[in-house]
């Protein structure tokens, strides 16, 4: 199993991932995929959509072994949440 190295800070990873998602990926994946996961390579903008994090990132790594993935749940502000407050975006 390959050891992958992070090349970006958590802050830069999140910033670049969110920018890519908002600037074009969202329009491609949002319809009919609510609650699914998008794994985005922040260096290339390539992405994969799946029901869960592991399949989405595995498929991304199959295509791009050196990917720097950022993950988001479609229609939500974050992938996971704890507590009673919903992370569903208010449209």
Closest C-alpha among 19, 8, 73, 10 to residue 45: 19
**Residue 89: is its pLDDT beyond 90?**
no
CA–CA distances in Å: residue 66 to residues 25, 42, 54: 20, 11, 16
pLDDT digits over 18-37, tens only? 999 999 999 999 999 999 99
Output the average pLDDT for the chain: 88
- pLDDT for 10-19, tens place per residue? 999 999 999 9
pLDDT for residue 90 is more than 80: no
- The confidence score (pLDDT) of residue 81 equals 61
- Alpha-carbon gap, residue 15 to 43, rounded angstroms: 12
Name the DSSP class of 1.
-
pLDDT for 54-71, tens place per residue? Answer: 999 999 999 999 999 999
Pick from 82, 57, 86, 66: which is nearest to 7 by CA?
66
* Segments of 9-79 assigned E as strands: 37-41, 47-50, 69-73
């Amino acid at each position: 199993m390959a050891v992958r190295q992070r090349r970006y800070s958590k802050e830069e990873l999140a910033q670049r991932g969110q920018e890519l998602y908002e600037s074009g990926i969202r329009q491609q994946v949002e319809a009919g995929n609510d609650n699914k996961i998008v794994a985005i390579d922040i260096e290339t903008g390539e992405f994969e959509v799946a029901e869960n994090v592991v399949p989405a990132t595995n498929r991304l790594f199959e295509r791009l072994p050196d990917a720097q993935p950022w993950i988001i749940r479609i229609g939500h502000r974050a992938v996971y949440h704890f507590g009673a407050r919903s992370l569903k975006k208010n449209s």
